[in-house]
Structure 1
Amino acid sequence: MDTVMHAAESPFFVMRPLALAMLALATTSTWAEDEGKVSVLADVVVRESIGVDPAGMNRKSLTGSRLGLSVKDTPASVTVIDRDLIEARGAENTQEIIKGIPGVTSSSAPGSPGQVFYRGFTSGSVTQLFNGITVQYDVIAARPVDSWIYDRVEAIGGPSSFLFGAGAVGGSINYVTKLASREGNFSEARLGAGSYNALQMAAGTNQKLGASNVLRLDISRNTGGAWSDRTEREAMQLAGSWLTDLAPGLSHTLALEYQKETVDRPYWGTPVLKPIGGRIAIDEGTRFKNYNSNDGLYEQTVRWARSIIDYRLSDKLSLRNTFYHYDALRDYRNVEVYEFNANNTLVSRKEALLQRHDQSLNGNRLEFSLDQPLGALKSNWAGGVDFSVNKQTRFPRSVAGPFGNVDPYAFSTENFFSLPGMTPGFTPNRTNEVTTLAAFLENRTFLTSNLSLLTGLRQERIDLEVTNHQAVTATNPAYFSRRYTPLTGRVALNYDFTPNASAYVQYSTAADPPAGILTTATFGQVKDFELTTGKQVEAGSKWFFDERKGTATFAVYEITRNNFAVANPSQPGTTVPVGQQTSRGVELTGSYRFVPGVQIAGNYGFVNARYDEFTENVGGTAVSRAGYQPSNTPRQVGNLWLTWSPTASLQVGGDVRHVGSRFADSANTISEGSYNLLGAFAAYKLDRSTTLTLRARNLTDQIYSEFLSGTGNMAYLGAPRTFDLSIHARF
């Protein structure tokens, strides 16, 4: 990205007096899933931060398969980033965690704060799950959350609707919360401070209560850290669980979560210098500027509740029932678009939006796991049914503006409700209710001692009902409904050459909406359209080498998505479901421990994503974009991590992240060049249980964007150079 240099940075560190209290938890009984396992932390030493197995190949993953297979034995591209890796990489929130997944990029722009780009796809084509549950509004619901409450993040690349439901052509990402553990009593706390007044206080405890109960509580509070002018952020996350053994083989878990976030005057983006075309340019004098209203706001409150009953009937058969509830209230009050005039002397501010999202999800999943031979062949089964009702009402009120022009560097803005035409109060627009009933079944059968066949099917019945609360028109009826019945699946072969090496090939399918997502879909987006279809062919290999000092994985894939909505060339202003996109790519991961105390790890993703059939409405005319690259999709993404422990008490390391160039528009006329981000850290063990860590991010103070608007007039910039200091105690 080209820049014009003159900017300032906030103070390096801001330290405040703090007090952390460990809280006692009192809720109801629970069971702790073995995937929520936490190590006892009595004797803590500086570990090899990358870990012996950074690819997580020995870890079991329920995101790649419900059969409880290890990553190595799953015939798919599966990534597990566990708690050790989260801490070693200094990932502060969920979006920083997922940047460790091969080929993944993401953005937290407020209008779509959960934006993820995976294998050439984004938005409704990538599913983001919370403990295996989709809220079907991932681009909004999956905004960055403090990583403290999470045990790990798992991902599977490519179509995975057969596991988690419609909307997963590009892949699925699963955020798994910490749960109560039977492994003993332990507690931990962290205190951190850094650039731009960043402050974190966090604590967690796991305590046994007698022989049958375990309680766990994790809490974190974050303030500051926002680098744009006059933006203030405060967030709190709380996760609690209660595990109770009711009888031999029978247990119950109650898991509760609460998230509260308030951002005053959120940053929505930076205007791009005119003329717009070719490589974009940013005036660094505007890098930290915030053109939002004085009282601009983003606020959300999220609650989760899960009741999990686990019953092991025998060594071969187990049952699990999960009742889940989710509700979220999100409020927006912002001026969202800023654009330079022709000679870059003034910035025009426009597009004011007052918005509320009121969403609730209730569901129940009953599933089984069975080891049962298929004739003479060893075979494992997993299956179940899932029923959910997802309801969301949106309350938008918008005024297009413009709201005048301001000096790019010295300006003042108004209070939001003083904008012409904007008034307080929320008026409902429409309510979307999505009712889903799904049945799913997976099987792994060993054809020989080394060769296994893995199959999976999911049949869904999805009922969409939309109630219009506004004026009724031909294109916006008072009520409409649709029913979809997608059948998706996977068939794969996995071959173990040795206990340390395997190869696989798979074919999988997916389904997702033709445009948008069902929880916000309009009549025009779905009307008589069916769900789009997606399919993938993938082959790969996974292995350990040099006496398991190293790991490596390789995957090559082709994904095709058919029948998504595009502009109708015969009838301008309408759409037809005939679009097609193909993504072909390669993903590599590797790690190696050269000697004790020195380790390197990395991953690389290359994707060639292209529209095969795509027309765009340009000024009322349908223009073909066949052969063009989707916007905000880099062809190359790579990560590299290196750690060295020169003494038993000291560890130092560095990392580099490369993201290739991207286009802002479907016509591929506006782009941003590639960028590299460098980081470094030093961790010193003060005693057996306390570690002090200094970390630097974006060491070269690279100016780069996480997201480019479709017109190219705005860029959502990534964070500048920052430093943070933290102390972490385990006891």
Structure 2
Amino acid sequence: MQHLLRFCSLPLVVLAGGTALADDSAVDLPAVTVQAQAAHEGETSLHTPTTAGSRLDLSALQTPASTSSLSGAEVRERNNRSVQDAVTRTPGISTIGTPGNGGTALSARGFSGHASTMQLYDGTRQYIGAGTVTFPVDTWSVERIDVLRGPASVLYGEGATGAVINVVPKKPFAGDIRNHLRLGYGSDDRRQAALDSGGSLSEALSYRLNLNQQASNGWVDRGDSESLALSAALRWDASDNLSFTLSHDHGDQSPERYFGTPLVDGKYRERIRDRNYNVANADIRYNDQITRLTADWRISDALSASNQLYYIKTQRYWRNAETYRWQPGDLVNRSSFYEIKHTQEQVGDRQSFTLDHSLFGLDSRTVVGVDYNRIHFARQHDFDSSFSDTVPLAGSGGGQYQSNDPRGYGPRERNLARQFSLFAENRTQLTERLSLVTGVRRDQVRIQRDDLLSDSSVDRSLSGGNWRAGLVFALTPDLSLYGQYATSTEGVNNLLTLSPSQQQFDLSEAKQSEIGLKQLFWNGQGEWTLAAYHIVKKKLLSRETPASPTEQIGLQSSDGLEATLELALGRGWQVSANAAFVRAEYDDFVEGAGDRSGNRPSNVPRRTANLWLNKALGSGVDVGMGARYVDARYADAANQIEVPGYTVVDATLAWQALPDVRLGLELNNLLDRQYATTASSAGEQWYLGAPRSLFVTADYSF
């Protein structure tokens, strides 16, 4: 814990996400409400149970970890079109999305990518083939988003060292049927048509249906995009103690076919901001389907059971020229002409039992369960590393996709993974104020990889055990001090698509020490949290010297501080702010190009911060403004290529014109800041953030 004491102050970087004043969804709120009351509907607080931090139904104050909860209303009112937009307004999380990872990869607590920042859908983990996650499509169907920072393998298995994000969709509800219709139009011919409908069909049946269709011409040349998201659920209350919910979620996306902007002689040139150097017949498509049957049974006052059976199918397709390099004479050399298709199917089941009982005379709650998944992954591609062409820098790409791969486009590999785990959690009230939260999990994964070109096959069994223990001391009912120790495991790459050589290595291991404070104050009108942590990850792939063979001997660590503040100031003012500081480094890491020990890992900013201000002006008018700050990052492990930091400002304006009609205006990147969200591995190609735009919405509830 001495590492935590190195930090005695939090940098004053104030810029952040915040608490929204009113839910823009009439389905989430009664059809007619007074605006001052609506501010409290659908909001979360430190007393709200968090779905990501534990399966014990603990509130944030009872959880010995750093957590955040965002209501769906907050998410949508802050102009957040994606889950990644939303969670990067929480402490210490930044985006590193590119088309190759589905645009969804994140960095948290010094660890980056889908192998370290896990994303769940209603508590269900989608295993990742080739590092790509493409679901959920947008935030229209989101009820809430919960974030757990730090190692969480004890809860969800390998691959959760930096953070876990759990997206909870809107659920069926009992009562009168209510509908919410949204129409929107804005810059770059962006348009939206969305429906949210739910309520009771009978005394025992209720439903929820969400449909959202979006399209845009895009802010870059040939930047057309479109998406369709469908979420439907039917709940049957068979008795007072037994219910079943059948749900199906479908996402179909064709995002912008934009792979970044090349630097000119190592520098960013503003006038090529809207250029798209991809080929004219480029294509990106993502299709996701998730079908789930959930059973919840209250067996007795002390014992309950829950089961979720699910089937997930994902298809992804790319055809692009992905690498652009400036050449003297203001030319752009294009290479990495890739055509790729991923097909993945996952069948799984999770069964858990929750028991309230006495342990040595102390009040206690225990969850025990099992997890099973069977995942098939197939990859077709044509990887031509030899073909390249040249286009003018002043132009905008174009031309047709070409490849000299003699094998052509076709099936290349097939992978099968079987995963089984046992898990348990317990919370015991040691005294009136002191509680102990513990957890343990054992995972077993068997991986088989078939090379369809060489007709060869390799397989490997990997196992990992993880645990955590935390103490929570309630100084008052609204003030908690906590400390915890937790472990996690990760594959040296995405488990499902480990190469034959990578399969020979064990899982990497990480451990974390964390302390923190959480408090509600001012009669619940304010809350603040503070967390300090130290993480060490070992068994990274490294070398003794740059010329030595690769071994599992590397070491990486991070130390950090995170702070949040939520405050209702009165007279319609609300403030939400957070800031995070992380010092991450490779303690022992050597690659073929040299010794990187002491360097900061790529895609890791030292400082991030968010600020959001809301003001109710009266007469049904609300305004909001927020800023997001991300410090400079390195694009390479050698720390020679730096991507500049940025601050982006957004704003909103809403007017409750009639009891059932709400008009809104979203202003994104208000100051038209030109910035890069991430960069290619070589650092010569930046993925730019979108320029200033506006979007007008009309919501009708009936």
TM-score (norm 2): 0.93
Aligned residue identity for 2:476: T
Q: Any idea what the Cα deviations from partners look like across 1:43-82, whole Å, max 9, x if unmatched?
A: 1454689859966312211210000011121111111111
Alignment counterpart, residue 690 of structure 1, candidates 661, 674, 681: 661
Alignment counterpart, residue 537 of structure 1, candidates 513, 518, 530: 513
Alignment counterpart, residue 123 of structure 2, candidates 117, 128, 132: 132
Alignment counterpart, residue 497 of structure 2, candidates 505, 520, 528: 520
DSSP-derived class of the 1:285 partner: helix
Go from structure 1 to structure 2 and tell me whether the alpha carbon gap of 1:568 and 1:295 turns closer, same or farther (over 3 Å shift): farther
Q: Name the counterpart of 1:19.
A: none
Q: Indicate the larger mover: 437-446 or 85-94.
A: 85-94
Q: Name the counterpart of 2:308.
A: 322
- Partner Cα separation in structure 1 for residue 39 and residue 154 of structure 2: 32
Alignment counterpart, residue 362 of structure 1, candidates 339, 347, 350: 347
Superposition deviation, residue 38 in structure 1:
6.8
> What does 1:173-322 correspond to in 2, within 5 Å?
173-224=165-216, 226-263=218-255, 266-274=257-265, 276=266, 281-322=267-308
- Partner Cα separation in structure 2 for residue 49 and residue 604 of structure 1: 28
Cα pair 1:675 1:704 within 8 Å, conserved:
yes
Cα pair 2:366 2:426 within 8 Å, conserved:
yes
Go from structure 1 to structure 2 and tell me whether the alpha carbon gap of 1:695 and 1:423 turns closer, same or farther (over 3 Å shift): farther
Cα pair 2:311 2:345 within 8 Å, conserved:
yes
Cα pair 2:415 2:448 within 8 Å, conserved:
yes
DSSP-derived class of the 1:182 partner: coil
Superposition deviation, residue 402 in structure 1:
4.5
Q: Indicate the larger mover: 137-146 or 443-452.
A: 137-146
Q: Name the counterpart of 1:608.
A: 583
The answer for unaligned runs of 5 or more in structure 1 is 1-36, 473-477
Alignment counterpart, residue 60 of structure 2, candidates 71, 88, 102: 71
1:508 and 2:500 correspond = no
Alignment counterpart, residue 146 of structure 1, candidates 123, 138, 154: 138
Q: Name the counterpart of 2:699.
A: 728
Go from structure 1 to structure 2 and tell me whether the alpha carbon gap of 1:313 and 1:335 turns closer, same or farther (over 3 Å shift): same
Alignment counterpart, residue 359 of structure 2, candidates 332, 351, 374: 374
Cα pair 1:187 1:206 within 8 Å, conserved:
yes
> What does 1:546-695 correspond to in 2, within 5 Å?
546-567=522-543, 569=545, 571-572=547-548, 574-618=549-593, 623-695=594-666
The percentage of aligned residue pairs carrying the same residue is 30
Aligned residue identity for 1:122: S
Cα pair 2:312 2:347 within 8 Å, conserved:
yes
Q: Indicate the larger mover: 530-539 or 131-140.
A: 131-140
Go from structure 1 to structure 2 and tell me whether the alpha carbon gap of 1:404 and 1:425 turns closer, same or farther (over 3 Å shift): closer
Cα pair 1:48 1:645 within 8 Å, conserved:
no
Superposition deviation, residue 248 in structure 1:
2.8
Alignment counterpart, residue 380 of structure 2, candidates 391, 395, 401: 395
Superposition deviation, residue 247 in structure 1:
2.2
Aligned residue identity for 1:116: L
Cα pair 2:42 2:71 within 8 Å, conserved:
no
DSSP-derived class of the 1:293 partner: coil
Q: Name the counterpart of 2:687.
A: 716
- Partner Cα separation in structure 2 for residue 543 and residue 171 of structure 1: 22
Aligned residue identity for 1:135: Q
Alignment counterpart, residue 484 of structure 1, candidates 462, 472, 494: 462
Aligned residue identity for 2:98: A
- Partner Cα separation in structure 2 for residue 88 and residue 234 of structure 1: 22
> What does 1:87-126 correspond to in 2, within 5 Å?
87-112=76-101, 113-123=103-113, 124-126=115-117
DSSP-derived class of the 2:140 partner: helix
Q: Any idea what the Cα deviations from partners look like across 1:430-456, whole Å, max 9, x if unmatched?
A: 112111111100000011000000000
- Partner Cα separation in structure 1 for residue 527 and residue 326 of structure 2: 50
Go from structure 1 to structure 2 and tell me whether the alpha carbon gap of 1:55 and 1:610 turns closer, same or farther (over 3 Å shift): farther
Go from structure 1 to structure 2 and tell me whether the alpha carbon gap of 1:628 and 1:49 turns closer, same or farther (over 3 Å shift): farther
DSSP-derived class of the 2:188 partner: coil
- Partner Cα separation in structure 1 for residue 84 and residue 186 of structure 2: 19
DSSP-derived class of the 2:658 partner: coil
- Partner Cα separation in structure 2 for residue 171 and residue 128 of structure 1: 9
Go from structure 1 to structure 2 and tell me whether the alpha carbon gap of 1:88 and 1:366 turns closer, same or farther (over 3 Å shift): same
Q: Any idea what the Cα deviations from partners look like across 1:281-306, whole Å, max 9, x if unmatched?
A: 31112211111111100012111000
Cα pair 1:310 1:318 within 8 Å, conserved:
yes
DSSP-derived class of the 1:84 partner: helix
Q: Any idea what the Cα deviations from partners look like across 1:583-605, whole Å, max 9, x if unmatched?
A: 11001111111114111111111
- Partner Cα separation in structure 1 for residue 377 and residue 241 of structure 2: 38
Alignment counterpart, residue 494 of structure 1, candidates 472, 486, 507: 472
Cα pair 1:52 1:593 within 8 Å, conserved:
no
- Partner Cα separation in structure 1 for residue 666 and residue 280 of structure 2: 33
Aligned residue identity for 1:517: N
DSSP-derived class of the 2:164 partner: strand
Alignment counterpart, residue 332 of structure 1, candidates 309, 315, 318: 318
Root-mean-square deviation (Å): 1.9
- Partner Cα separation in structure 1 for residue 39 and residue 117 of structure 2: 27
DSSP-derived class of the 1:260 partner: strand
Aligned residue identity for 1:287: R
Q: Name the counterpart of 2:440.
A: 457
Q: Any idea what the Cα deviations from partners look like across 1:541-583, whole Å, max 9, x if unmatched?
A: 11011122111001000111110212452755x4211111101
Aligned residue identity for 2:495: L
Go from structure 1 to structure 2 and tell me whether the alpha carbon gap of 1:695 and 1:317 turns closer, same or farther (over 3 Å shift): same
Q: Name the counterpart of 2:3.
A: none
Q: Name the counterpart of 2:21.
A: none
Q: Any idea what the Cα deviations from partners look like across 1:233-262, whole Å, max 9, x if unmatched?
A: 111000000000112301100010111112
Superposition deviation, residue 423 in structure 1:
8.5
Q: Indicate the larger mover: 66-75 or 177-186.
A: 177-186
DSSP-derived class of the 1:111 partner: helix
Cα pair 1:49 1:643 within 8 Å, conserved:
no
Cα pair 1:40 1:186 within 8 Å, conserved:
no
- Partner Cα separation in structure 2 for residue 497 and residue 54 of structure 1: 25
Q: Name the counterpart of 1:15.
A: none
Superposition deviation, residue 519 in structure 1:
1.2
Cα pair 1:128 1:142 within 8 Å, conserved:
no
- Partner Cα separation in structure 1 for residue 396 and residue 619 of structure 2: 53
Go from structure 1 to structure 2 and tell me whether the alpha carbon gap of 1:425 and 1:224 turns closer, same or farther (over 3 Å shift): farther
Superposition deviation, residue 425 in structure 1:
6.8
Q: Name the counterpart of 1:170.
A: 162
Superposition deviation, residue 666 in structure 1:
0.8
Q: Name the counterpart of 1:161.
A: 153
- Partner Cα separation in structure 1 for residue 188 and residue 491 of structure 2: 41
